[in-house]
Amino acid sequence: MLISLSEIMNTAGKVENISAPIEMDCFEFQGNTYEFAHKDPLDLTITNLGGRKVMVEGNTKISLNLNCSRCLKEIVYPMDIQISEEIDFNLTEEERVEDLDERNYIIGYDLDVDTLVYNEILIDFPMKLLCSEDCKGICKNCGTNLNKGSCSCDTTDYDPRMERIRDIFNNFKEV
């Protein structure tokens, strides 16, 4: 959803409250697609600060369907998103590049709600998510979920650098 900021910028001190729906169907990151389990509309308060500056504040609650990093069990991960951004329209494109301003959610005088929410999800996205602190994961040989039961696989970890020495010892056992 695009929200036009030009009308708000024309009146100094104007405050506008907007409930904007999140139109994206899923969150895509690093080649993976994550479905929303729940998403509330984004409640925005846009304030004209004067001097071609606008303050964008908002909040929403969403939940994503993610997988446990160890056992791959599906988990609903809730996120409480808080947004507070000051946008200065006085800056030229070159000045924004120099200031490392990465506001890709502003297109001309329009605010792209989905891109703004996407950026906030990206910042809060967990690097590693566990279904429980004592999650045992899956067996690297047969793929059995070790939280539900055990398997009969050999779990000895060998150092791959010692493979040649292990071959020498195995050859002497045969003699």
Residues 6, 47, single domain; the answer is yes
Identify whether 106 is part of a domain. yes
- Residue 129 in any domain: the answer is no
Residue type, position 34, single letter: Y
In a domain? residue 34: yes
Residue 96 lies in a domain: yes
pLDDT value at residue 96: 67
144 and 74 assigned to the same domain: no
pLDDT value of residue 134: 92
Is residue 89 located within the same domain as residue 156? no
Q: What total number of domains does the chain contain? A: 2
Whether 99 is covered by a domain: the verdict is: yes
- Reference 56, options 88, 83, 91; nearest CA is 83
pTM attached to this predicted model: 0.76
- Whether residue 28 is contained in a domain is answered as yes
Burial of 12 (0-12, 13-18, 19+ CB in 10 A): exposed
Domain with 21, as residue range(s), is 2-124
Where does the chain have alpha helices with state H? Answer: 6-10, 93-98, 113-124, 163-174
Do 142 and 70 share a structural domain? no
Give the pairing type, strands 26-29 and 110-112. Answer: unpaired
Q: What is the pLDDT of residue 56?
A: 92
Same domain for 53 and 108? yes
The whole-angstrom separation of Cα 168 and Cα 172 is 6
* Contact predicate 33/14, CB 8 Å: no
One domain for residues 89 and 159? no
Q: Is 122 helix (H, G, I), strand (E, B) or coil?
A: helix
Give the residue carrying structure tokens 């899956």: 138
Is 131 part of any domain? Answer: no
Q: Sign of dihedral through CA atoms 38, 2, 97, 12?
A: negative
Tens of pLDDT along the chain (175 residues) come to 888 888 888 888 888 999 999 999 999 998 889 999 999 999 999 998 888 889 999 999 999 999 999 999 999 999 999 999 888 887 766 776 666 566 778 887 888 999 999 999 999 999 999 999 999 999 888 888 888 988 888 777 778 888 888 888 888 765 5
